[in-house]
């Protein structure tokens, strides 16, 4: 009898094979939903309705994530709500729990650009740098999708990024670091030092705007970089537009990048936007802009619609296979008063998205009033920005909407986008009218030499030194040290008063285009000249000031071109 049972079992196994393997967690709806829950459930958030509108337009992305046969890249662009990266951290945390570590994403040495850094690292610059942000009306440098850039003519200038130990990227042997750069000629190198690992690299950069990649040691605590070249000429120059840390050959990497004060109307026409989108080639672009467009007293919904459509059209023209997702601006107050126009703006975003086949996360409708966030202790006093806890929750709710709609795809229950589009209310007449006069925008491509001219645009040489404030220093002390006025330092740094803090990096205006040294170190005669090194100076800036070559300066002092100098050091000037 026992033998007969074994025979039947053998026949069944031969007919039907082994029991089917359970799907991986990223393809199992119940597993995905377990990772979608926020840490806190806020009563004023419409959590039951928290899904993406027109989510079916993300079907190509959903398919890639379900199959997980290659890396999926998401580019999430925004303003000050994203620059601190707390939202991005929470999104990555939940998504990477399903698809595995994808990498830290986007990074930038923010301190050199005179702005706040992300939550997990600090940055500092040495030497002379130019910088630009998309929030400026006339940026000094042509910008791409990241909305920021730093550049230098100083071959000894460096930037440094240092991660807090708790947040150091846990890179493995498959981790890759990619840099977006711009140069004016061939022969420019990016020199990298990975700090504690002792590893150093030299990467040859392409002429013009491009990208270059390398492998990353594990773990990554410190990253230093600078542009190097042989000789010195008017085109010896390097520019950094950001770096991108990515792990794994499959799964997902979420690149989150924001610029304080950025407007959608500016971002849509950045000179290098198209080229940077081509270089990064994301599978999904998330547009998370609009707060600054709508905050201005002269804000026009028609102008906002114009900018939104321009951004979508540009992305679709450059990346026809990529999907798009747009968010509506979360509720905020202006001068402590609510803005009724924000509800109409959210309606406008849904309507434009329906016409352009773009998915929407309606943060304005789903997340409730900013007054409720303030009463819950989750916003700053300005009632425009959230505090870190608030941004963490917002990122968690975004992840919830994203994953719930992905589960609808897995269950083949995505709403019909045609029906959803029909449900969008008719827009008021005022939203159809063009703006009465053109809205001031970032300079067009013609400002940088016309179409295709931006990659070869030659920026003006820097006119600033940089000084890191020490404990006990005042603006008066710093101004006296560099031979400039207090007013000029305040103007260069946008300071309203005289209060500065230890560790703050200040721009110091110089007297010449190539930068100057403090008056205290100015020599009195040509024979037996000596120079006392001041904070922020480099071999290059000193050589430029005295009209000599770096090689001659190094030879006179027994140094090499790579030698470090420090404040207080006395150099002989040949």
Predicted pLDDT at 433: 66
Least confident of 11-25, 50-64, 323-337, 367-381: 11-25
CA–CA dist 236, 388 (Å, integer): 41
CB hemisphere CA count around 493 (13 angstroms): 26
Query: Angle at the Cα of 528 (from 523 to 534), degrees rounded to 5?
Result: 40
Average pLDDT over residues 461-480: 79
What average pLDDT does the structure give for the chain?
Answer: 84
- Give the strand pairing for 284-288 and 323-327: parallel
373-390: average pLDDT: 95
pLDDT digits (tens, 9 = 90+) for 354-372: 999 999 999 999 999 999 9
Highest mean pLDDT, choosing among 154-168, 220-234, 433-447: 220-234
484 — phi, psi (to 5°)?
Answer: -130, 175
**Structure confidence at residue 18 (pLDDT):** 58
Over 50: is that where the pLDDT of 246 sits? yes
Q: From residue 146, give the alpha-carbon distance in Å to each of 76, 91, 159, 455.
A: 10, 19, 17, 15
SS3 label, residue 343:
helix
State what percent of residues in the chain have pLDDT above 70: 83
Residue with tokens 């493995």: 172
Whether the per-residue pLDDT at 309 is higher than 80: the answer is: yes
pLDDT, mean of residues 291-295: 91
pLDDT band at 19 (very low <50, low <70, confident <90, very high): low
Mean of pLDDT values over 505-517: 54
- Tell me if domain 103-247 and domain 510-574 are identical in fold: no
CATH topology of domain 510-574: Membrane-bound Lytic Murein Transglycosylase D; Chain A (3.10.350)
CATH architecture of the domain with residue range 468-506: Roll (3.10)
pLDDT at 3: 53
451 vs 202, which has greater pLDDT?
A: 202
What mean pLDDT comes out for the span 486-511? Answer: 78
Superfamily of domain 30-98+274-283+297-423: SGNH hydrolase (3.40.50.1110)
| pLDDT confidence of residue 504 | 87
Mean per-residue pLDDT for 332-337? 90
Q: What pLDDT score was predicted for residue 478?
A: 85
Predicted confidence (pLDDT) per residue in 94-138, tens digit? 999 999 989 889 999 998 888 888 888 889 888 888 888 988 767
> Which residues, in sequence order, are CB contacts of 104 under 8 Å at separation 6+?
120, 169, 245
| Average pLDDT of the residues in 225-231 | 93
The residue length of the chain stands at 574
- The confidence band for 214, taking pLDDT boundaries of 50, 70 and 90, is very high
pLDDT at 223 over 70: yes
pLDDT band at 429 (very low <50, low <70, confident <90, very high): low
Using pLDDT thresholds of 50, 70 and 90, give the confidence band for residue 538: confident
Checking if the pLDDT of 318 tops 60, the result is: yes
Nearest partner of 311 among 342, 281, 289, 282, judged by Cα:
289
250 and 69 Cβ atoms separated by less than 8 Å? yes
572 falls in which pLDDT band (50, 70, 90)? confident
Residue 444's CB is within 10 A of a number of other CB atoms, namely: 12
Give the range with max mean pLDDT: 96-100, 191-195, 478-482: 96-100
pLDDT score of 450:
41
Residue 129 to residue 123: CA distance in whole angstroms: 14
What pLDDT is recorded for position 445? 41
d(CA 159, CA 116): 15
Query: Domain spans of the chain?
Result: 30-98+274-283+297-423, 103-247, 468-506, 510-574
Q: Which fold has domain 103-247?
A: Jelly Rolls (2.60.120)
- pLDDT, greater one: 9 or 495: 495
Strand pairing class (208-215; 176-183)? antiparallel
Mean pLDDT computed over 471-493? 79
CA distances, 190 to each of 41, 143, 276, 285, 392 (Å): 47, 19, 19, 28, 35
């Amino acid at each position: 009898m026992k033998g007969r049972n074994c025979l039947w079992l053998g026949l069944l196994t031969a007919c039907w094979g082994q029991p089917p393997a359970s799907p991986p967690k990223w393809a199992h709806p119940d597993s995905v939903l377990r990772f979608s829950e926020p840490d806190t459930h806020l009563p004023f958030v419409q959590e039951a309705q928290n899904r993406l509108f027109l989510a079916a337009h993300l079907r190509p992305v959903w398919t890639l994530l379900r199959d997980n046969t290659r890396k999926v890249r998401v580019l999430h662009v925004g303003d000050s709500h994203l620059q601190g990266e707390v939202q991005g951290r929470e999104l990555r945390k939940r998504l990477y729990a399903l698809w595995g570590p994808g990498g830290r994403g986007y990074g930038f040495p923010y301190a050199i650009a005179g702005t706040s850094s992300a939550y997990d690292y600090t940055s500092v610059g040495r030497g002379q740098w130019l910088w630009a942000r998309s929030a400026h009306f006339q940026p000094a440098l042509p910008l791409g999708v990241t909305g920021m850039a730093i550049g230098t003519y100083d071959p000894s200038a460096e930037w440094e990024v240092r991660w807090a130990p708790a947040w150091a990227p846990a890179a493995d042997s498959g981790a890759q670091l990619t840099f977006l750069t711009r140069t004016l000629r061939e022969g420019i190198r990016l020199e990298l030092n990975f700090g504690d690992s002792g590893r150093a690299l030299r990467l040859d950069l392409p002429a013009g705007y491009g990208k270059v990649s390398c492998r990353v040691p594990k773990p990554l605590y410190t990253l230093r970089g600078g542009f190097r070249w042989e000789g010195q000429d008017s085109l010896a120059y390097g520019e950094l537009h950001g770096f991108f840390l990515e792990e794994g050959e499959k799964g997902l990497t979420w690149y989150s990048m924001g610029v304080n004060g950025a407007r959608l109307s500016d971002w849509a026409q950045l000179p290098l936007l198209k080229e940077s989108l081509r270089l990064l080639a994301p599978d999904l672009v998330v547009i998370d802009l609009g707060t600054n467009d709508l905050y201005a007293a002269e804000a026009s919904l028609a102008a906002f619609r114009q900018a939104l459509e321009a951004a979508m059209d540009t992305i679709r023209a450059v990346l026809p296979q990529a999907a798009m997702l747009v968010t509506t601006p979360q509720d905020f107050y202006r001068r402590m008063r609510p803005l009724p126009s924000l509800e109409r703006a959210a309606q406008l975003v849904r309507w434009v998205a329906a016409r352009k086949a773009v998915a929407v996360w309606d943060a304005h409708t789903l997340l409730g009033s900013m007054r409720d966030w303030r009463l819950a202790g989750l916003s700053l006093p300005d009632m425009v920005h959230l505090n870190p806890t608030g941004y963490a929750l917002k990122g968690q709710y975004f992840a919830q909407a994203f994953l719930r709609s992905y589960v609808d795809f897995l269950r083949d229950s995505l709403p019909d986008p045609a029906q959803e589009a029909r449900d969008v209310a008719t827009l008021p007449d005022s939203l159809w009218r063009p703006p009465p006069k053109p809205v001031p925008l970032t300079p067009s491509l013609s400002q940088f030499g016309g179409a295709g001219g931006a990659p070869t645009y030659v920026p003006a040489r820097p006119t600033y030194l940089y000084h890191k404030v020490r404990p006990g220093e005042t603006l008066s002390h710093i101004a006296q040290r560099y031979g400039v006025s207090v007013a000029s330092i305040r103007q260069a740094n946008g300071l309203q008063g005289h209060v500065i803090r230890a560790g703050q990096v200040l721009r110091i205006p110089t007297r010449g285009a190539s930068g100057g040294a403090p008056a205290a170190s100015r020599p009195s005669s040509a024979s037996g000249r000596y120079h006392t090194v001041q904070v922020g100076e480099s071999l290059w800036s000193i050589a430029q000031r005295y009209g000599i070559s770096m090689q001659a300066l190094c030879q006179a002092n027994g140094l090499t071109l790579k030698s470090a100098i420090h404040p207080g050091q006395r150099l002989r000037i040949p």
